Structure 1
Amino acid sequence: MIKSAPSHRARLSRPALRAALLLAPALLLSACAALRPAATAPAAPLPTAPFVLLGEVHDNPAHHLERAAQLRRLLADGRRSTVVFEQMGRDQDAALAAAPREAEAQSQAGGLDRQGWRWPLHKPLFEAALAGQAQLRGGNISREQARALVRQGEAAWPEDLLPLKLATPWAPAQQQALQAEIEQGHCGAMPARLLPGMVLAQRGRDAAMAQAMLQARAAGAERVILIAGNGHVRRDLAVPLYLQAAGVPAEQIHVQAYLEQASGPAAAEPQTALYDRVVRTAKAQREDPCAALRQTGKS
């Protein structure tokens, strides 16, 4: 648990800061859910790239059903495939290999936080991957590693991910853009002193997922598919950036975002540079994720 600073140094009360940090794994990428939408692309044939990234708004059931159908179509071609899940830890390969090839067993072996990810929302994806004879793999750093990055900064960066981090270009503009997304995803309530650490934790997640994809490819997968939030699949800041730094040509990476319908200027705002294709669905019914932070901020 990250300890809050003395109240005179923080912008939030202790209860508010505690709520912000407890919500961090879910909200940290609510940036995944809070990204501004891109222009809808026309229907396209199934991607043939060896690296396929499928985004999501985490709590939208339609996104999981749509991507499960996409997975079934992709895997029907019989290519040897691995599906990497953001929702599982990257250190669970042995447990996954030993577990029965069934969605409940695989999700538990992979360390999926059933409450945090609202299982069985992602169950259709597990079922589709297993039905298609794909290997399953976790791609995320642990919650403890993420918290260490927030608390300790660069000193806590995982040693095995350091070469990939050093090889990946990272400009001040990218730092500012990711920080802005995280701040928005935390309802503007995260103390400024924590934002650099939150950015680093996000980069750690992206680097870990990219490495899991690279390792799966090196182990013989003809195609590797990532299941992750939209914030993790965007080309300018996230997993594709690390894949390219490792030598994967941009044209071998296909990025597909699943976004919610919007209206007004945001809906017309083109962001084709972020994704290769966009699928839109109706907005999911949900409570205001910022309500708890606003309420504790008053206490």
Structure 2
Amino acid sequence: MKRLRQRLALCSASLALLAGCQTTPPAGGPTPEAARASFLLLGEQHDNPLHHAQRAAWLRQLAAANHAAGRETWVVFEQMDRANDAALQQSVRQQHANATMVAEAGGLELKAWAWPLHQPLFDAALAGDVHLAGGNLSRDAVRRVVREGRAAVPADLLPLLDAPGWLPADQQAVEADIEASHCGALPPSLFGPMALAQRVRDAAMAQAMLTAAAASEPAGQAPQVVLIAGNGHVRSDLGVPFYLRAAGVQAAQIVSVAWLEPDGSGDAGRYQQVQRTATAPRPDPCEDMKKPG
């Protein structure tokens, strides 16, 4: 979270510089594969307003198409705590519900996520009359996992974590990503605990998507469940899709789409689809970590 706050330090400047772009997402909408998917994961670089604007445009189109076809739409947010779903549902039912009210009810920490960066997505979801759900664990719950390990993992997530298929190479890859994301400044003793926390968060989002799918009223076809999360969470190999497959979801039902900037070309193979945008202005996220003391 510290690194996220560093990367969002110039969010106000980013919003000002890209405000015009936010209202003009690309003409192309969801691909046919994305529109058909039962489980659709839409990634982001958290501080890029274009990623939020373009995915909001996708959400509007998906919700409209699903509604016309008699298909329910659920949107699960990484930015909201799954433990707050009762308050979230109550907020959505309010007569004058708005994006900020709903986001706060769902446990989104406005300052930490540099609100209103994600507001276009909430606006689109409310306009589309879709179902909303939180997918993440609270920061305190994640900290407990880092401190206490498996003993702090919520019981409903253990079957997903223990499902076969997670290899030593996968563990090494997650730990390497954690080291890189902390600019090499993280003590090696924390690689394993933080990798576990990452896995638990991914499993929680997968479980939230599965719960949303199961909660839909019986209809002529399965609902579409959309996840809004960071690119690292939606990657097909080690992220939320891994846990969906571990739960028995067929790979053909899952589509993962990353929103990447031009310098993210090396990550493209982790996803089924990639959307490209301009780079958002931001400070060097490693600058403070490089300072002595």
Say yes or no: TM over 0.5: yes
3-state DSSP of counterpart to 2:184: coil
Q: Which runs of 5+ in 2 are unaligned?
A: 8-28, 218-222
In the alignment, which residue of structure 1 is the partner of 2:283? 287
In the alignment, which residue of structure 2 is the partner of 1:55? 43
In the alignment, which residue of structure 1 is the partner of 2:2? 23
Could you tell me how far apart the structure 1 residues matched to 2:117 and 2:52 are?
Answer: 7
3-state DSSP of counterpart to 2:212: helix
Residue pair 1:47, 1:254 contacting (<8 A) in 2 also: no
In the alignment, which residue of structure 1 is the partner of 2:226? 225
* Superposition deviation, residue 189 in structure 1: 0.3
Residue pair 1:27, 1:186 contacting (<8 A) in 2 also: no
CA offsets per residue over residues 60-87 of structure 1, 9 Å max, x none?
A: 0000001000111111111211100000
Could you tell me how far apart the structure 2 residues matched to 1:43 and 1:218 are?
Answer: 24
Q: 1:150 to 1:24 in 2, by over 3 A?
A: farther
Could you tell me how far apart the structure 2 residues matched to 1:270 and 1:103 are?
Answer: 31
Size of the alignment, in residue pairs?
258
Could you tell me how far apart the structure 2 residues matched to 1:106 and 1:237 are?
Answer: 30
Could you tell me how far apart the structure 1 residues matched to 2:281 and 2:73 are?
Answer: 33
Residue pair 2:146, 2:193 contacting (<8 A) in 1 also: yes
* Superposition deviation, residue 271 in structure 1: 4.2
For 1:87, give the aligned amino acid: Q
Q: Which runs of 5+ in 1 are unaligned?
A: 1-21, 29-41
Residue pair 1:51, 1:252 contacting (<8 A) in 2 also: yes
3-state DSSP of counterpart to 1:94: helix
In the alignment, which residue of structure 2 is the partner of 1:95? 87
| TM-score, length basis structure 2 | 0.84
Write the mapping of 1:1-299 to structure 2, written as runs, cut at 5 A. Answer: 23=2, 44-45=31-32, 46-77=34-65, 78=67, 79-99=71-91, 100=94, 101-220=97-216, 222-262=223-263, 267=265, 269=266, 271-272=268-269, 274-295=270-291, 298-299=292-293
Could you tell me how far apart the structure 2 residues matched to 1:120 and 1:86 are?
Answer: 15
Q: 1:86 to 1:92 in 2, by over 3 A?
A: same
Q: 1:197 to 1:24 in 2, by over 3 A?
A: farther
Higher relative contact order (CA 8 A, sep 6+): 1
* Superposition deviation, residue 158 in structure 1: 1.3
Could you tell me how far apart the structure 1 residues matched to 2:154 and 2:30 are?
Answer: 40
3-state DSSP of counterpart to 1:114: coil
| TM-score, length basis structure 1 | 0.82
Could you tell me how far apart the structure 1 residues matched to 2:267 and 2:85 are?
Answer: 39
Residue pair 1:260, 1:280 contacting (<8 A) in 2 also: yes
Residue pair 2:3, 2:285 contacting (<8 A) in 1 also: no
For 2:174, give the aligned amino acid: L
* Superposition deviation, residue 153 in structure 1: 1.5
RMSD: 1.9
* Superposition deviation, residue 26 in structure 1: 5.3
3-state DSSP of counterpart to 2:83: coil
Range moving further from structure 2, 98-107 or 226-235 = 98-107
Could you tell me how far apart the structure 1 residues matched to 2:109 and 2:290 are?
Answer: 26
* Superposition deviation, residue 151 in structure 1: 1.1
Q: Which runs of 4+ in 1 moved over 2 A?
A: 24-28, 42-47, 269-272
Q: Greater helix percent: which structure?
A: 2
* Superposition deviation, residue 47 in structure 1: 2.4
For 1:119, give the aligned amino acid: W
Residue pair 1:240, 1:253 contacting (<8 A) in 2 also: yes
* Superposition deviation, residue 27 in structure 1: 7.8
* Superposition deviation, residue 169 in structure 1: 2.2
For 2:31, give the aligned amino acid: A
Range moving further from structure 2, 116-125 or 141-150 = 141-150
